[in-house]
Structure 1
């Protein structure tokens, strides 16, 4: 892509606060964007070949939405965690194994998509995020869900298509969790905490494609209580 084309994109972005350049084969984060650190509210660089997110990302103080789906990121810089206004972060289809230690400082974050990466556990940093609504960790290599999950504030947690065989009973303590997706994992019925059914806020539990028949779920203690929540929620949205 020529310089003139990039220049035109930058001029538009300066007016709109939106910089979108997807599917252009970019191998690095456009350095010229640093001229717009005080303008941009949205950056979308999805479907490129970017391997590194530079530290200068931390300077986009107004940034609300950042999308880098389907790139080649293997790590994220600590500087990303300075984005106090960031509400939406889409990083699906990269090669991320972990999140920066300070990730819990992204205090405005509402939506986090990390589907199709190489995470091996539910990142403990997520527990500090107070406004988190939706977390998508599907299609990773997660094998267990740790105790820290009990502090997660999310309303929806998607863990489909992982390798989960163990889940902490603490998940039933999540104060706002309504939707829990665990399809296509390695769960035995005995490894599913019954308190999810009997004693949680969860009103939609998706567990198809595990190591048990769905109808066996109905025999568990607490299933009736779960169905009450499920039906009440359904009525609300009908």
Structure 2
């Protein structure tokens, strides 16, 4: 991609607050973007070959949306955690194994998508984020869901296509969790906490493709309570 093309993109971004450059084979984050640290609200660099996100990302103090799907990122810099206005972070299809220690400082974050990475656990930093609506951790290598998950504020948690065989009963205590997706994992029916059915806010539990037949779920104590929530929610959206 030539300099003139990049320059044109930068000029557009200066006016619109949106810098979108996808599928151009970029190997690195365009350094020229730092001229627009106070302009940019959205950066989308999906479908490139970026291996590193530079520390200067922390200077984009007005950034609301950062989309880096399908790159080659193995880590995110601590400086990312300075983005106090960031509401959307989508880093699907990269090589992330963990999140920065200070990730819980992204106080405005609402939508976090980390599908198709190499995470082995549900990051505890997520529990500090008070405005999370949707967390997508599908297609990772997560094997269990820890006790800390009880602090999670998300409305929807997607854990499809992991290797989960254990779930902490604390998941029933999530104050806002309505949708829990656990399709295509390694769960035995006995490992699914019954309190998810009998004593939680969850009104959509997706568990197809585990080590039990779905009809067995209906025999569990608390299933009728779950169905009441499920039906009530369906009516609301009908």
Tell me if TM exceeds 0.5.
Answer: yes
Task: Tell me the CA shift for residue 217 of structure 1.
Answer: 0.2
Task: Tell me the CA shift for residue 152 of structure 1.
Answer: 0.2
1:155-214 Cα offsets, whole Å, 9 max, x none, are: 000000000000000000000000000000000000000000000000000000000000
3-state DSSP class of the match of 2:94?
Answer: coil
Rounded to whole Å, the distance in 2 between the matches of 1:48 and 1:36 is 21
What is the number of residues matched between the two proteins? Answer: 238
The unaligned stretches of length 5 or more in structure 2 are: none
3-state DSSP class of the match of 1:229?
Answer: helix
1:67-121 Cα offsets, whole Å, 9 max, x none, are: 0000000000000000000000000000000000000000000000000000000
Rounded to whole Å, the distance in 1 between the matches of 2:100 and 2:146 is 18
Is 2:228 the partner of 1:228? yes
Rounded to whole Å, the distance in 2 between the matches of 1:73 and 1:56 is 16
RMSD: 0.2
Task: Tell me the CA shift for residue 148 of structure 1.
Answer: 0.5
1:110-162 Cα offsets, whole Å, 9 max, x none, are: 00000000000000000000000000000000000000000000000000000
3-state DSSP class of the match of 1:180?
Answer: strand
1:54-75 Cα offsets, whole Å, 9 max, x none, are: 0000000000000000000000
3-state DSSP class of the match of 2:150?
Answer: helix
3-state DSSP class of the match of 1:226?
Answer: helix
Rounded to whole Å, the distance in 2 between the matches of 1:10 and 1:111 is 26
The TM-score normalised by the length of structure 2 is: 1.00
The unaligned stretches of length 5 or more in structure 1 are: none
1:205-229 Cα offsets, whole Å, 9 max, x none, are: 0000000000000010000000000
Task: Tell me the CA shift for residue 18 of structure 1.
Answer: 0.3
3-state DSSP class of the match of 1:19?
Answer: strand
Is 2:178 the partner of 1:178? yes
Task: Tell me the CA shift for residue 233 of structure 1.
Answer: 0.2
Rounded to whole Å, the distance in 2 between the matches of 1:146 and 1:56 is 33
3-state DSSP class of the match of 1:7?
Answer: helix
Rounded to whole Å, the distance in 1 between the matches of 2:108 and 2:237 is 27
